[in-house]
Amino acid sequence: MPKVVEIAGDMDAAAMAELKATFETLGSTADDVVLDLAQVEFMDSSGVGGIVFLYKRLKMNGHRLSLVGAGGQPLQLLTHLRMADLIAEQRP
């Protein structure tokens, strides 16, 4: 069963500074991780960087990252950056 983590608010530089420790912990978890982005209204390069960091850490440890609930600007950004393969069709 994957670990589901809900992210609320913007994923910008200030928010990612606060989420850094959480993402580092998640990156070394013994589970797959699902980030629920339903409450994220804005994402910039810092948010993308955090997702890429987490993705690489999990992959290195043999686990997967999935994104659910992305909409609006965050979904557009992730799609534009060709990160859509991380976006799950539905919540696991």
Q: Tens digit of pLDDT for each residue in 43-61?
A: 999 999 999 999 999 999 9
- pLDDT for 90: 43
Instruction: Give a three-class secondary structure readout of 18-81.
Output: HHHHHHHHHHCCCCCEEEEEEECCCECHHHHHHHHHHHHHHHHCCCCEEEECCCHHHHHHHHHC
pLDDT less than 70: residues of the chain: 88-92
**CB atoms closer than 10 angstroms to residue 18:** 9
